[in-house]
Amino acid sequence: MLSETEVLAACTEELQDSTTVGELSEQRSKSMRYYLGEPYGDEVEQRSQLITREVLESVEWLTPSLMRIFMEGNAVSFDAEGPEDEEAAEQETDVVSHIFWNQNNGFYNTLSAIKDGLLSKTGWLKIWFDESETEEREEYSGLDEIATMALLTDDSVEREVVDHEIDEDGLVSITFIAKNKRGKVCIMPCAPEDIGVNSDAYSPLVDDCRFVYHQVRRSRSSLVEEGFDRELIDKIPSGNEAFDEERLARRNLEEDRDSSEDMLWITECYIKLDRDEDGIDELLKVVMGGAVSIGSGGGSGVVLSIDEYDRFPFVAWTPVLLTHKFTGMSIADLRLDVQYAKSTLLRNMFDNIYHMNNTERAVNDRVNIEDMLMTMPGGIKRVSGTQPVADSIMPLAKQPLSPQSFELLGVLDEMTKGRTGVGSDVASLDPSALANVNTGVAALSYDAARARVELIARMCAEFLLRPAFRLIHEL
């Protein structure tokens, strides 16, 4: 039987080698900065600092098309295996759809996961069954003996009497603290920088991973309510150590952000490990408190609990699949170089126009320098002496814009269309596109741009929504 220390060591090793560290984190930080239109860092004072927004345009262009597919009509349908299963399959479809779209704000969850995938390579949903208890104060008055006994013997709710009295007519007034345990399926989107898998994951499916972690900030009181030991919680230090470059880029925060003493970093590790040494790996959920460092040299946190778990509570998708790897490419990855090149080209073009409209001049000591430094319509330039003005002021020639500059802008736009389908004449996908693609007829009728977008929609359906609906059904 592996000890707590050995389980913690295995989780720490996986965290230090997680997929979210190093180059991947830098790429996603860069994508977020380009999406927000932040400066590149090579801007020159008194020169054009224009920033184009190709990354934002691509993400915002594709998102409505994808959302339309999954929001219109039925996004999920369970098929009957025989005539006797048709009613059950219909009920399963209705229940799972209701849980996903109505009970858990399905629009926001789907939109968040889609945009995360388009921008940050992977979009995540966490799906789990919540069995936490809630406490409510119940007050009753004017009850007879039968009604009082009915409340006390009700097995569906655990009630604790905190106050009671009997009036002169024998009627009871009683106050309870009622503990309700109402299990429900919960769904939430996870920020890509808060979650990661083992670095050698070979499949885009979460279930094929060996290790998954999720790191979030939680309040001390919420941890106590969940039943974690108060003494262990008090040992967890608060701090900003886990606010890395990628988190700062998304939240646009300063590195010296004040920390709250009540907010703690909590890391949930789900790891396949043969803890009982029977030759078969079990899935363990290890909850650690503290700003556990992700990457080489990371330290371990305070272990709050270690439990066996049935399944990974996560599903994820990536828009551009890289075979035999978990993390693929985002739409932002396909446009970063185009955005930088287009920004640089337009900056140079604007600088040229600025110089053409504000020509530099060579002057001698006959010219009043203050007059030359001020440019305004109808302005006067004072020149001493009677010699011709041309002898004292000479414009410096500037090369006009080359027609090839405008052609290059067109080349960059065509590059974008070829890579992503964005910017083509295709407005959006029809919701029936996914259903018809297997017939071959619909696929032949779409142009290359539509087919490109359609493939992204299929990736989202196969790797995010299908596993999500199956997991909801199982829970």
**In a structure prediction context, what are the per-residue pLDDT tens digits for the chain, which is 475 residues long?**
888 888 988 988 888 887 666 688 889 999 999 999 999 999 998 889 999 999 999 999 999 989 998 988 788 999 988 888 899 999 999 999 999 999 999 999 999 999 999 999 999 999 999 887 777 888 999 888 888 888 888 877 788 888 888 888 888 899 988 877 778 999 999 999 899 999 889 999 999 999 999 998 888 888 887 888 888 888 887 765 555 666 777 666 444 444 556 788 899 999 999 998 888 999 999 998 886 767 655 556 788 999 999 999 999 999 999 999 999 999 999 999 999 999 998 888 888 887 777 777 888 888 888 888 887 777 888 888 888 888 788 877 777 777 777 778 888 877 777 677 676 544 445 555 555 544 444 444 446 777 888 899 999 999 999 999 999 999 9
- pTM of the predicted model as reported, rounded to 2 decimal places: 0.79
Cα gap 94→473, rounded to integer Å? 11
Residue 276, pLDDT score: 87
Which parts of 396-465 fold into alpha helices (H)? Answer: 403-420, 433-436, 441-445, 448-460
Residues 308/7, Cβ–Cβ less than 8 Å: no
Residue of 272, 267, 273, 215 lying closest to 246 (CA atoms):
215
Cα gap 203→322, rounded to integer Å? 9
Residue 444, pLDDT score: 43
For the beta carbon of residue 115, count every other beta carbon within 10 angstroms: 19
Cβ-in-10-Å burial (0-12, 13-18, 19+) of 156 comes to exposed
Residue 129, pLDDT score: 93
Cα gap 256→241, rounded to integer Å? 10
Helix (H) / strand (E) element for 353: namely: helix 336-357
Side-by-side strand order, sheet with 211-219: 195-197, 211-219, 263-273, 282-289, 302-308
What is the Cα gyration radius of the chain? Answer: 32
Per-residue tokens: 320: 């551009």
Residue 154, pLDDT score: 83
Torsion of CA 138, 142, 144, 150, to 10 degrees: -20
Terminal-to-terminal C-alpha distance of the chain: 29
Strand partners, 196: 213
